[in-house]
Amino acid sequence: MQAKTGDSVIVETKEKKINGILMPVPEGEKDSVILKLESGYNIGIDKKDVKEIKLVKSYSEKKQKTAEVKQNKKLPIISILHTGGTIASKVDYKTGGVIAKFSPNEIIGMFPELTKIANIKSRKIASMQSEMMRFVHYNLMAKEIEREIKSGTDGIIITHGTDTMHYSSAALRFILEDLSVPVVLVGSQRSSDRGSSDAGLNLISACYFIANSDFADVAICMHENLSDESCLILPALKTRKMHTSRRDAFRPINTTAIARVNFNERNISFMKKDYDKKDKNKKLKLKLFNEKIKVGLIKTHTNMFAEEFLAYKNFDGLVIEGTGLGHLPNEETDEYTKENKKIFDSLKEMIKNGLITVMSSQAIYGRIQMNVYTPMRELQEIGVLGHLSDMTPETAFIKLAWLLSNYKKEEVKQLITKNLKGEISERIEDKTFLS
């Protein structure tokens, strides 16, 4: 019998035998055999080197049974709101890609430990890769959170794609005021059908943390390191994805994690003591995003042109990822840097016309200091804001958009460098660097 896409096979080459799952061959690689190895990675084998392909097991798609969730009155209620992402993904052997196709109830079926921790409510509110999100989706999540709180839930988990999870956590931290229960965003760097998946531990740890702590704020829960021992509860406004594929990709920036969860030992240890606590007497208020607000995020680099900045002349706000302490090429220093003066003049004119402009640093760690060098002082003089802030560029972007959605422009200028919800550190400790 000839092997087909999705079948488990042994490919025998001139040098060795390779076990794997036969994958579809992309256009342009018709002379190759593509295998998915047990590790989850794909390899290509030149057809000229293949002696034989032996069928081990034919592929048949398994239908997931919907989990029957029994209620236990002694356990808290946790609502899982599903938005998509790798945490609910599996390989589609028809296309060779990874797709999100698990329903919320199937997530419970995949991780039955959840039902021993809490009474689980689960439903899908979106199904998308996180980079596709817009401001409207932050509002959607906030309204669904409000709905769950009104229903009497004790905590909320949002399953989310990892690529922009730190944008969403920041957005929700700003939107949700007087939050009475915890809201924890959970993602997975590796899909649930891979042996190295981090989905299970991340989701179970988040659930255990909600059920067994008094924390009531927005946070992210992801692997602490490469092992499957513990997860960190990370601050919503000061966390960033720092690796493309590692399971411990999310790190706290200029601060420490909130807590460590070791589910195997049933232990929660807090690193921070000053966090908001559960309080059913609080009444949630939403300060939503104006979905029509336009805010840009531009990364500075060498050999820039004024046109790059002028692209934002009709925007409401602009965050600049400056170099180092908050630099950009805005000074004419010789006959070859006349374009830098054009950049400065363009920014000056746009700010004069109402563009709120905020400086951040692509260095990620540390604080903006715009009084050190003359070019930066000149930027402050024309209205570039951000002096002494240690916000990540992503948090600065979200905060600026949220402020512009809820306050007048003169108020925005005053509030952007004030610490409203923990986004700006009073003091940065050395031990937080690359922690």
Catalytic sites, residue numbers: 86, 162-163, 241
CA angle at 171 for the pair 181 and 290, rounded to the nearest 5°: 120
What count of Cα atoms within 13 Å lies in the side-chain half-sphere of residue 376?
Answer: 21
380 contact partners, CB below 8 Å, separation of at least 6:
370, 371, 387
Q: Which two tokens stand for residue 357?
A: 């402009």
Q: Tokens 């059913």 label which residue? A: 280
Burial class (CB in 10 A: 0-12, 13-18, 19+), 214: exposed
CA angle at 170 for the pair 292 and 423, rounded to the nearest 5°: 115
Q: Tokens 């309204």 label which residue? A: 143
Alpha-carbon distance 233 to 222, whole Å? 7
Contact criterion met (CB below 8 Å) for 255 and 275: no
CA dihedral 192, 197, 201, 207 (to 10 degrees): -30
CA distances from 211 to 39, 75, 183, 271 (A): 33, 8, 12, 18
Pairing of the two strands 8-13 and 17-23 = antiparallel
